[in-house]
Structure 1
């Protein structure tokens, strides 16, 4: 049956490229040209004992120090470069005959994947998930497999912080030779008349056998409560090596609809039967919903007009770079939902699969965006990967094929777009396709009129002109605003590179939030907006450079702490009353001075009180809001909101005392002790009365006990160069965040935090005892496998240390001893020699090394650098351990094994893996 196992645990990692010494001998050149013969870090023999052990997801870039002189502002001044990963793992003999697939969710940036000394795949996009079939190239049983990934992040695809390394999950899928293909199920529900639906299912069945296979496919639609609400069974025949597609139609009446407010999900159970026995199965999450676009009225979901209230976002998060645990994706989507957002643009690349899962569960519409505008075979493959991976997600409602391309208004761009669009439509014709344009929209021979939707990046002064020219073309603000703000800051300061929070600072190409939303919301033909950006992100520190290392665009900072604009968008996007004071009320030494205060509200009228005294009561235009300059006096600032003359909401800011302690809030009540879960821990400075102190910037040290680990820390300061991975971090304007990951176990986690001048705080996080998800364990032995064997069986005892001429490829044969005995030795009599070599580091030579032969049969003599170290005579395979302690070993240690064989011996010779171990101390 099908198994999907995590490959995330216990990789060995080396930062930097690995120079392979030039090997000009015929032997080296000849061997490197053969399958499985690669040398260097991709080879089994490469010494990785000094490498670091890491778990995935892994981003090495964010842990590097900031580099002001050599770093790139767009990348947040973080070095990238090249890194190598190695994982050795074993497969059971029972896996022989199954199809084995490796799935990489994302590697930054260009990647080369090796298995057992051969190149398997090259990836040219850091955001594309890809799958490699390893069935033909694996070992079973005692011999481990070596998976190696070279991640070349010295190349870039974007102009923002992209991270570096295997920053998303890796999976191993084992399935039968007759099975459902990877990404082989597409569920496409179609609404008929009334409440009737047809669940169209296309299932691809692959037959990797050498003979024809007959089968049945049972497909079931299962509701969230487990009830089967529709099913169909179909028969099929697949020839040897053939993939066939079965189409099924499962009718259903009145399904629960997937919607942004009630995201009901269903599961399609696909069961493959052969001779009435289950031989494979797959579960596919999907939803019933309709989407319609109208050039006059915009976007409709399930027949209901819905204004798109979206944000654009990159994928990094404070403290952890782009290596986000699954829960952090959900945390970020929840923050946006609470703001009133209903849509998420994946800017400018395919997201992690877990983000789309979170959008499905939580009810967030998605614009799924392709990274590279490219109609070459490689570019089309990237587009196809996006579609086949994501088309079952009900949250995905748009495909965007590019962002701001110089060719967007040209005939060449038009031809490219059409070819890419055709590639999408061959796989999925249910979603509108667009590009995000920052120009060229008025060109007749450009891309815009071959799009289903015209995507406008900024250019809001051109909405009406374009609509007049193309009245039948739907339009969306694919990227808008680009306003600047610094969380908790209320005075712009170019020296400090901070912005105020009153929605008046913006990029020269952008608009304020109020200007942009008014332009969108007052035009029915504009289906909505995607604001740049939901979250601040590392890199592209516009308009400044050093010391800024992150952007100032976000509605939330890099941690997800809301800026004041968060409440302005709540006022725009939520129906319930919103009343928020934008402005600080803690200004020591400024008593009697004028300070700015602003209302963020969707109420018709507001009243502003200072220490109980009414200062203003005024009507509010939602697109303008209200702003006052008032004399500061410590105490209570109170804002009341009224609808129809009735008080419906209140916000207060009370001048706090000095910070004396910390308040700790976790994003969920408990952590799963599965070694994969995570929790976001937000920390706030408070005074003696428990009031938030937004001016606190103390250094806080933290430690952890129990079944957890601190993955990183951040504070949302766009100008901070503090390391993300140390056990201390400053508060920024009163806030700090820790990302805590789980270890396998159930011991309660205790976080201890101690700030300068603040009372120490211990915060407990319960850990639920659960089984670890199934994973592929790593093997950490060092294996010796570059063995040569004499072609001829000598009748007389030869010199076991005879030299091999460098060009001799014929009297010696390269053999893989892990596959078992050489058949040519069965029933023979005489002598053979095995020869190999191994390079040892100084640490290995001083750590009591030993050789371990898993199976040797015959009269064996084992030599190391010409010295006889062990002898064993056995007519059947036995283990042999050879201590190297006290042996003077060179940098290149030569191993020779002389084996005397006789006709009656069982499996003569070396017929099992050979490894080297270390006895520390």
Structure 2
């Protein structure tokens, strides 16, 4: 038996964690506002603001006259936008018989659409002369993709990846006391994945300032610990850089506080003597007494502060949050967190959401993780690319494990550097428990080349983060050669029929289901519809390579050595329409739809992944015209037994099979279909009933208080009610929205995988039809104060409104 035991203390060094706002020596300023945007052109320089004409952009440094890069370029006709921004989600759907367009959700972007595939961004700003002498850095958390960046006409760098964060030192190019112009060109003509990816500066941007002697931005601090009974011995490694014009002498020390800022422990003060343009790594041990563990239901986060002092004055300081925990990967007993054995009840997720594409406000990241936790999910797989830092912040704060995955398995310099940057950025996040070096590389994963590449990436991971191990998402069945020979934790993408044979042949290698299930369902639709491209909302239909949810979960529960896995997927996502194509533009794989509305399979997972009293009946009971016809009724529950009744008449009582569900065939009659269940001596009840036609709208906000910071957001779900106040599950009314006050609507959706309605209503007339009785509108705050009121109205229905504080 081979056991991997890891005790770690993890710091958050995400988008905001390296920067202590309270200490004026270092600033981390949000750079999302005040941008101008325009589409360029991938093949015609005359429509791409003269970019590339005669190679004039790079022939002489800083020469940019006549292009969008120039300081004095007239961008008044460009659109005013605020980051995060995804220009692709606002494009209309367009049918083209092309696999790439199909898999990206029929958005007209890519090589076939050069007029939609280049995005230009410009931002003007000023920096006071008094601030000269500091170092300045621009940070982008994600630009899709192949970006090029200029400041004041000078090219400061490019970034190939559409997913990794990137920083550029811009100190040399700043005009102090004058107008500065930052320009970004994003090129989305080539795809990185086979799913919706969007386009543009779709994550946050930041302006960072710090002293010439400073902690490095990515990898500047790393904390890890060995747990000693109730204590934790913390090792904090810092990486300090001198970018001044002469050598520097200083001291460095670290201390730890509780979540409220009370100092709990302090390390030793270490001397520092650093030559020009050199960097150095320092290490310190701090004993944290009676350490409070980070756990799924108690995600306690400490704060760590690292300080550089020179001549008795603090010149740089970084503040981070961190958590203390242990986990174990055991080839015979599976996985344990803080010594407690558990199955990984995970989901794989892409990063887009209805209405906003890939440009999610932070609140939406938290909203989605809360929905998953409510279902019983304890682990999130970021597929198939580095996530936004705010997603990890949400998982750290709410208690969700994360499998952090790099985009591509390749040890060439470009992709090795991408994996390096990912680890350095995320290695201190409390939520990350496992690295993934890649996903389903069909051509090379079973070869000797694949083995050598994987070995390089595994060794790189162990060098940068010895506190964790890694896996690889392999769709290779029980095949061992290649990547699987060197990966510490064997990942299975489907092919679960080979689990037992593989485990018997390789008993020392822990095994996890990196991608499992893949049931395809359409929320609220319970009959197959090949015209509208819908599949029934039961756990029945799946592609040839996959299985139902119930199949994989029973396999997991029957094998103590099988760690668990990540169902495909937590939410529907744009692209990869399966099993149909056009008019279908979304996937059907989600346990929830693109808005986060649950499907029937959601209640199967919730029944067996939580201790909640779950009793759910599917389908709804509005079937006008089907009187007397048989309807298949599914009941998901974790009760001991369930009795089903139609209009008070018993249809029989059945025992609930462990990790299963119950089915009745019921001849439809309007009225009330009810279930009575017993669970450990308690009675649980549920019902669905035939409703009347809708007469009113109901708006249901995720919260009613908004911060006027220009970043906060609220998700408002929309339903229709009948005259008795019951939700009408098959309502399809068109709902219009009117928003007044210091906020803006940034997207609408309804979860319909074949809807071609606009996610962005460019004319300002926001609307969305109900699908399965539901729709959603997403609102983002502005910076000015004042009351915010959203009104929803529809012809023939009573309107509703909600006011936000």
Regarding TM over 0.5, the answer is yes
Is the Cα contact below 8 Å between 1:268 and 1:283 reproduced in 2? yes
Aligned position for 1:33: 59
In structure 2, C-alpha distance between the alignment counterparts of 1:510 and 1:502, rounded to whole Å: 15
Pick from 354, 364, 367 the counterpart of residue 400 of structure 2.
364
Matched residue SS, 1:503: coil
Describe the superposition over 1:172-202 as per-residue Cα deviations: whole angstroms up to 9, x where unpaired.
1011111121134434332343222111101
Matched, 1:380 2:416: yes
Deviation at 1:31, TM superposition (A): 8.6
Alignment CA distance shift 1:414-1:708 (3 Å): same
Matched residue SS, 1:280: strand
In structure 2, C-alpha distance between the alignment counterparts of 1:147 and 1:353, rounded to whole Å: 23
Deviation at 1:73, TM superposition (A): 1.0
Matched, 1:4 2:28: yes
TM norm structure 2: 0.92
Deviation at 1:146, TM superposition (A): 1.9
Aligned position for 1:903: none
User: For the aligned residues, what is the CA RMSD?
Assistant: 1.8
Matched, 1:750 2:789: yes
Alignment CA distance shift 1:694-1:23 (3 Å): closer
Matched, 1:481 2:517: yes
Matched, 1:551 2:587: yes
In structure 1, C-alpha distance between the alignment counterparts of 2:683 and 2:228, rounded to whole Å: 43
Deviation at 1:643, TM superposition (A): 2.6
Pick from 631, 636, 642 the counterpart of residue 600 of structure 1.
636
Is the Cα contact below 8 Å between 1:515 and 1:623 reproduced in 2? no
Is the Cα contact below 8 Å between 1:398 and 1:431 reproduced in 2? yes
Matched residue SS, 1:41: coil
Deviation at 1:161, TM superposition (A): 0.5
Pick from 314, 334, 339 the counterpart of residue 375 of structure 2.
339
Aligned position for 1:48: 75
Deviation at 1:649, TM superposition (A): 2.1
Is the Cα contact below 8 Å between 2:220 and 2:240 reproduced in 1? no
Aligned position for 1:912: none
Pick from 700, 704, 707 the counterpart of residue 739 of structure 2.
704
Matched residue SS, 2:643: strand
Deviation at 1:626, TM superposition (A): 0.8
| Correspondence list, 1:83-122, <5 A | 83-122=119-158
Aligned position for 1:268: 304
Deviation at 1:434, TM superposition (A): 1.0
Is the Cα contact below 8 Å between 1:490 and 1:583 reproduced in 2? yes
Describe the superposition over 1:769-800 as per-residue Cα deviations: whole angstroms up to 9, x where unpaired.
xxxxxxxxxxxxxxxxxxxxxxxxxxxxxxxx
Matched, 1:442 2:469: no
Matched, 1:741 2:780: yes
Describe the superposition over 1:498-528 as per-residue Cα deviations: whole angstroms up to 9, x where unpaired.
1112211111111111011111121111101
Is the Cα contact below 8 Å between 2:329 and 2:335 reproduced in 1? yes
In structure 2, C-alpha distance between the alignment counterparts of 1:393 and 1:37, rounded to whole Å: 42
Alignment gaps of 5+ in structure 2: 1-24, 110-116
| Correspondence list, 1:490-501, <5 A | 490-501=526-537
In structure 2, C-alpha distance between the alignment counterparts of 1:760 and 1:115, rounded to whole Å: 49
Aligned position for 1:915: none
Deviation at 1:23, TM superposition (A): 14
Q: How many residues align?
A: 761
Is the Cα contact below 8 Å between 1:484 and 1:554 reproduced in 2? yes
Describe the superposition over 1:23-58 as per-residue Cα deviations: whole angstroms up to 9, x where unpaired.
99xx98789522111342222243322211111000
Is the Cα contact below 8 Å between 1:409 and 1:441 reproduced in 2? no
Deviation at 1:17, TM superposition (A): 2.3
| Correspondence list, 1:893-908, <5 A | none
Deviation at 1:20, TM superposition (A): 4.5
Matched residue SS, 2:752: coil
Is the Cα contact below 8 Å between 1:99 and 1:174 reproduced in 2? yes
Aligned position for 2:8: none
Aligned position for 2:493: 457
| Correspondence list, 1:114-513, <5 A | 114-142=150-178, 144-232=179-267, 233-406=269-442, 407-439=444-476, 441-444=478-481, 446-513=482-549
Is the Cα contact below 8 Å between 1:185 and 1:284 reproduced in 2? no
In structure 2, C-alpha distance between the alignment counterparts of 1:115 and 1:292, rounded to whole Å: 48
Deviation at 1:207, TM superposition (A): 1.4
Deviation at 1:562, TM superposition (A): 0.6
Deviation at 1:315, TM superposition (A): 0.4
Deviation at 1:742, TM superposition (A): 0.5
Matched residue SS, 2:500: helix
Alignment CA distance shift 1:96-1:156 (3 Å): same
In structure 1, C-alpha distance between the alignment counterparts of 2:305 and 2:501, rounded to whole Å: 50
Is the Cα contact below 8 Å between 1:591 and 1:634 reproduced in 2? yes
TM norm structure 1: 0.81
Matched residue SS, 1:37: coil
Describe the superposition over 1:816-871 as per-residue Cα deviations: whole angstroms up to 9, x where unpaired.
xxxxxxxxxxxxxxxxxxxxxxxxxxxxxxxxxxxxxxxxxxxxxxxxxxxxxxxx
Matched residue SS, 2:348: strand
Aligned position for 2:703: 668
In structure 2, C-alpha distance between the alignment counterparts of 1:344 and 1:652, rounded to whole Å: 32
Is the Cα contact below 8 Å between 1:711 and 1:740 reproduced in 2? yes
Matched residue SS, 1:382: helix
Alignment gaps of 5+ in structure 1: 767-921
In structure 1, C-alpha distance between the alignment counterparts of 2:485 and 2:333, rounded to whole Å: 18
Is the Cα contact below 8 Å between 1:189 and 1:197 reproduced in 2? no
Is the Cα contact below 8 Å between 1:308 and 1:342 reproduced in 2? yes
Matched residue SS, 1:737: strand
Describe the superposition over 1:136-159 as per-residue Cα deviations: whole angstroms up to 9, x where unpaired.
2221112x2221111001110001
In structure 2, C-alpha distance between the alignment counterparts of 1:673 and 1:420, rounded to whole Å: 44
In structure 2, C-alpha distance between the alignment counterparts of 1:681 and 1:530, rounded to whole Å: 28
CA radius of gyration, larger in: 1
Is the Cα contact below 8 Å between 2:477 and 2:492 reproduced in 1? no
Describe the superposition over 1:468-492 as per-residue Cα deviations: whole angstroms up to 9, x where unpaired.
1100000001000110111111112
Aligned position for 2:19: none
RCO (CA 8 Å, sep 6+): is it higher in 1 or 2?
Answer: 2
In structure 1, C-alpha distance between the alignment counterparts of 2:219 and 2:409, rounded to whole Å: 26
Q: Which stretch shows the higher mean deviation, 219-228 or 475-484?
A: 219-228
Is the Cα contact below 8 Å between 2:526 and 2:537 reproduced in 1? yes
Deviation at 1:259, TM superposition (A): 0.6
Deviation at 1:228, TM superposition (A): 1.3
| Correspondence list, 1:556-595, <5 A | 556-595=592-631
In structure 1, C-alpha distance between the alignment counterparts of 2:366 and 2:30, rounded to whole Å: 20
In structure 1, C-alpha distance between the alignment counterparts of 2:654 and 2:105, rounded to whole Å: 44
In structure 2, C-alpha distance between the alignment counterparts of 1:685 and 1:217, rounded to whole Å: 61
Describe the superposition over 1:279-328 as per-residue Cα deviations: whole angstroms up to 9, x where unpaired.
11111111000111000111111111111000000000000110000000
In structure 1, C-alpha distance between the alignment counterparts of 2:416 and 2:630, rounded to whole Å: 59
Matched, 1:759 2:794: no
Aligned position for 2:769: 730
Describe the superposition over 1:263-286 as per-residue Cα deviations: whole angstroms up to 9, x where unpaired.
000110122211111111111111
Is the Cα contact below 8 Å between 1:601 and 1:622 reproduced in 2? no
In structure 2, C-alpha distance between the alignment counterparts of 1:594 and 1:33, rounded to whole Å: 75
Aligned position for 1:679: 714
